[in-house]
């Protein structure tokens, strides 16, 4: 098992972030770099890294692991409903955060000044450990930070999204935060993303880690763009992986429930509950959910830089995305 170490960011990196991230301006030690992987995470990770690496994995655990803004919520709701025999009543009565908790939440507690729901307070990892089986767990952490037996013991769902739309969606997400606000413009965020200075970066290494595991029998790999273009096919793919039979009528019901408009207006998943209160009122956690919105933000120079990174990282391993 590789040793996980935590290092401070360089003075130059901190100087860049101080100008753009309010939490760094308030505390220069807010973020650290994790090795192996050169991963950027909140400094609170250092306190829980051993607990996560030594996490007790149960064989009936179900994980949704994604890079931020890559169809995470969509995948969670789909997986939870199929595994729970399409119980829409419970899905609407309990928030997705309650049904499918976010393992990484302890990393961000120090940034949050606003009120949060009671179930998110206290020792999150201890609470997750005490959950009855089967547990549904979500994380954006890289594979190397998890127990070595994670993939061998339980079912894992991963959803990939093309990097151009991912960076745009991620930008809007960090602008939405009340407590960890990004105060720069999109070009500034794009530069941080490409220089591996956004939280959970490096993006390209994260995606390659996923891609190399795509044929593992405990992995179900989804693509945001496939779900957008033919959600019914993705529903059937997930159902088959879980060993669930679904009728055509049930698939139609799921597709309707999981449509972007339905999800955006569903308080159980859209994170706009007044009790959460972590996002600005002039934005939405679920924004557009489209393919190709990057064209409204990228300059020609940005597109050239991104295309070069895509060729460098993805072409050689046979990974292709849809961009419109």
Which residues are bridge partners to 31 per DSSP? 42
Q: Which of 56, 140, 216, 284 is catalytic?
A: 140
What is the C-alpha to C-alpha distance for residues 165 and 161, in angstroms, rounded to an integer? 7
Strand ranges in the chain using DSSP code E only, listed in sequence order: 5-8, 31-35, 39-42, 62-65, 136-139, 155-160, 219-223
Annotated catalytic residue 216 = no
What is the C-alpha to C-alpha distance for residues 25 and 22, in angstroms, rounded to an integer? 5
Nearest to 173 by CA among 251, 284, 41, 257: 284
Q: Identify whether the C-beta of residue 162 lies closer than 8 Å to the C-beta of residue 5.
A: no
What is the C-alpha to C-alpha distance for residues 244 and 84, in angstroms, rounded to an integer? 10
| Helix 300-313 vs helix 203-211: crossing angle, to nearest 10 | 40
Residues 6+ apart with CB under 8 A from 26: none
What is the C-alpha to C-alpha distance for residues 74 and 257, in angstroms, rounded to an integer? 10
What is the C-alpha to C-alpha distance for residues 302 and 306, in angstroms, rounded to an integer? 6
Cα separation values, 282 from 14, 20, 149, Å: 29, 20, 43
Please give the backbone phi and psi of residue 161, each rounded to the nearest 5 degrees, phi first. Answer: -135, 145
312's enclosing H/E stretch is: helix 300-313
Catalytic residues, which ones? 140
């Amino acid at each position: 098992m590789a040793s996980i170490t935590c290092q401070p960011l360089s003075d130059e990196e901190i100087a860049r972030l101080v100008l753009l991230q309010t939490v760094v301006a308030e505390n220069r030690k807010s973020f650290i770099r994790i090795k192996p992987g050169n991963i950027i995470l909140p400094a609170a990770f250092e306190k829980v890294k051993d607990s996560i690496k030594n996490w007790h994995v149960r064989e009936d655990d179900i994980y949704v692991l994604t890079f931020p803004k890559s169809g995470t919520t969509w995948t969670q709701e789909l997986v939870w409903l199929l595994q729970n025999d399409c119980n829409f009543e419970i899905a609407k009565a309990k928030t997705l955060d309650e049904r499918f908790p976010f393992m990484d939440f302890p990393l961000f507690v120090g940034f949050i000044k606003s009120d949060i729901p009671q179930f998110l307070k206290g020792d999150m990892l201890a609470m997750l450990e005490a959950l009855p089986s089967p547990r549904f767990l979500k994380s954006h952490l890289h594979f190397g930070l998890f127990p070595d037996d994670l993939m061998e013991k339980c079912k894992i769902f991963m959803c990939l999204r093309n990097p151009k739309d991912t960076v745009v969606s991620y930008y809007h997400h960090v602008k939405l935060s009340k407590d960890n606000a990004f105060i720069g413009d999109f070009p500034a965020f794009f530069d941080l993303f490409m220089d591996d200075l956004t939280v959970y970066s490096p993006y390209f290494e994260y995606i390659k880690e996923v891609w190399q595991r795509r044929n593992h029998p405990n992995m179900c790999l989804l693509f945001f763009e496939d779900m957008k273009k033919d959600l019914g096919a993705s529903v059937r793919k997930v159902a088959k992986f879980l060993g669930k039979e679904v009728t055509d009528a049930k698939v139609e019901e799921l597709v309707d429930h999981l449509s972007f408009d339905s999800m955006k207006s569903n308080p159980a998943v859209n994170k706009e509950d007044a009790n959460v209160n972590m996002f600005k009122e002039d934005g939405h956690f679920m924004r557009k959910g489209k393919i190709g919105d990057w064209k409204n933000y990228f300059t020609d120079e940005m597109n050239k830089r991104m295309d070069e990174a895509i060729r460098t990282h993805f072409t050689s391993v046979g990974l292709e995305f849809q961009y419109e």
